[in-house]
Chains A and B, each alone.
Chain A
Amino acid sequence: MTQKAGFFTYLALILLALIFIAPVLWIFISSVKGPIDLYSWPPKFLPDSLSFENFTAAFSKGNFGLYFINSAIVAVSATILTLLINTMAGYALSKFRFKGDTLILFLFLSTLMIPIEVIMTPIFTVISKLGLYNNLLGLIIPPAATPMGVFLIRQYLLTVPDDLLEAARMDGAGEWRIFWTIIVPIAKPVIAVLTIFSFMWRWDDFIWPLIVISDPSKYTIQLALANFIGEFRVDWGSLLAMSVVTMIPILIVFLIFQKQFVKGMATSGMKE
């Protein structure tokens, strides 16, 4: 259905865009205000002069650099692991018929409905028993097997013709090589979708780090932010600056994969 947008569509979208962008803009603007502008009443919409005090304070006093690095280590390695094992599983479940395949698919899909929040107390026991408590690996490995990821990849690969793989097998290509030289390149758009989601999930995650990490030197950004909020007197300046910095890596990941992302969303499993 390709209708042309009329006046009212534009009007509605511009209003919506304003609603959606205003809070973010307000955070960005507030973050570059000095303490006087920040707490002035009536609120000053634009600061008299730019001040980056909040940012320097967050990094020097708030130990924010360390939390940023922890988050980066976790988000990047968890994303790589997620991409690898979810693409492998999605491939197996879309292009092979094997004993137990329906059972495994059913397991994956049913856990789509179990948010880890529901089973956090027993997960904590498992994490501690495996020595993953207070360990960044505990933030990287367990959440890598996402049912959503497997589901997306599988739906996408179902559309790949089997002949292509059979032809490669006839030429003597091994399964592992078929995976890397045929499946992965074909699946690029949906892998881009998963890259963005996975990075977002891990970078923004709060509950999982809250369960796994208690040692402040291993805090991720979200834990650090939560800890800041919990303090008696909230330092809004640092908090706003940290919020702004925290949004930047996601923006970068999104910009890198955006083109593929749009293509991938349009073709990944939302079809009849």
Chain B
Amino acid sequence: MVVEKSKAMPMAIKKTNVETMKKAQRKKKLAPYLFVLPNLLIFLIFIIIPALMGLVYSFTSYNGVSDMKFTGLENYIRLFNNAEFWKIMLNTLIYAALVVPLVFAISLGIAMLMIKEMKARGLFRAIIFWPTMISFIIVGLSWKWIFGDSFGVITYLLEAGGLPPIKWLSDPVIAKITIVIATVWARVGFFMVIFIAGLQSIPASYYEAAQIDGANRSQLFWKITLPLLKPTSLLVFMLLIVESVKAYPLIFSLTGGGPAKETTLIVQYIFEFGFTKSEVGYASAMSVILFLLIGIFTLIQFKWAEGGKID
């Protein structure tokens, strides 16, 4: 940190102060715009404009190369009649409906254990946080290595324990469970950290007062912990919904979306049409529907958290 000494002569101090303050005021007005500009520009160019373009594409037959032709609602009508699309949408919803509450409950539970006074707390936190730092591609790979039919160590352990083998990756129902388990394993640490931060911000005096009034443990949790965690919970819910859309790499490397598209989620499907099949217009219509779904869930969350403010 460099702090320059004022070079002004003592006599001139008063006058320069007034002038510099005026100048500072003017600069202060302009400053926030300049500070926010780089971020805002990137934002507009790479998020807002593409989002709007996607909306436009969804009403066209654009294939990524040639001129786009306006086709009205054709893509949407085609989508509504596409059974495969709805199956994959359902896969995505089932996946999110399992991942969101599971990760929420488990990471909150672990966070509540972790804020207790104990030895080796840092080590425990680091171990649970560690999977969070591993890329989804590698998480998928690791789980494939562990759950694989012919070389997976879990398969061996089951066999050694006299249990029937489980088709972790090739049974339509079990494969769905496997991708959920892998996701929970990979994400719990991240949300644990957020919950720890939230829990630590609840004043201890609240608990003490309630305990004096004779509240038991479950009352403490439902009447104090959970309500006061609302802002944190809202953030966690929002992030989790987004995360469950982003699971494509994990599934790509774990099951490849199979068997028979049973673990294919919507992002993989959009990618398939948008890039592999060059049906950009059609893929964009899928994106719009996905976006609307995310929006609806977010609104429900906000309604639920009314009173839990963001700032």
Contacts and interface: CB of A to CB of B under 8 A. Distances in A.
Nearest to B153: A43
Interface string B7-30: 000000000110011001001110
A181 B3 CA distance: 9
B95 interface: no
A116 interface: yes
B258 interface: no
Interface in B141-157: 141-143, 145-146, 151, 153, 156
Q: Name, among B207, B248, B253, B275, the residue most crowded by chain A CB atoms within 10 Å (CB to CB).
A: B253
Given A43-B156, A113-B242, A119 B50 contact: yes
Given A9-B113, A108-B43, A117-B270, A23 B197 contact: no
Nearest to B140: A229
Given A13-B124, A92-B31, A175-B28, A42 B141 contact: no
Interface size class of B (residues with CB under 8 A): 35 or more
Interface in A139-181: 141-145, 148, 150, 154-155, 158, 169-170, 172, 174-175, 179, 181
B122 to A, nearest CB: 8
Contacts of B127: 17, 20-21
A10 B118 contact: yes
Contacts of B200: 266
Contacts of B16: 172
A257 interface: no
A246 interface: yes
Interface in B98-130: 110, 113-118, 124, 126-128, 130
B196 interface: yes
Contact of A27 (B27, B142, B270, B287): B142
A98 B128 contact: no
B291 interface: yes
B283 A121 contact: yes
B64 A42 contact: no
B185 interface: yes
A88 interface: yes
Interface size class of A (residues with CB under 8 A): 35 or more
A144 B130 contact: no
B194 A4 contact: no
B36 interface: yes
A122 interface: yes
A185 to B, nearest CB: 7
Given A107-B43, A120-B271, A126-B53, A174 B24 contact: yes
A109 B117 CA distance: 35
Interface of A: 1-5, 9-10, 12-13, 16-17, 19-21, 23-24, 26-27, 30, 39, 41-43, 84-86, 88-89, 91-93, 96, 98, 101, 104, 107-109, 111-126, 130, 141-145, 148, 150, 154-155, 158, 169-170, 172, 174-175, 179, 181, 185, 200, 203-207, 210-211, 222, 225-226, 229, 236, 239-240, 243, 246-247, 250-251, 254, 258, 265-268, 270-272
Given A126-B50, A272-B231, 16 more contacts: A4-B116, A5-B118, A17-B124, A109-B310, A113-B242, A113-B295, A118-B54, A119-B47, A122-B53, A145-B43, A154-B311, A205-B135, A225-B138, A250-B134, A265-B197, A271-B231
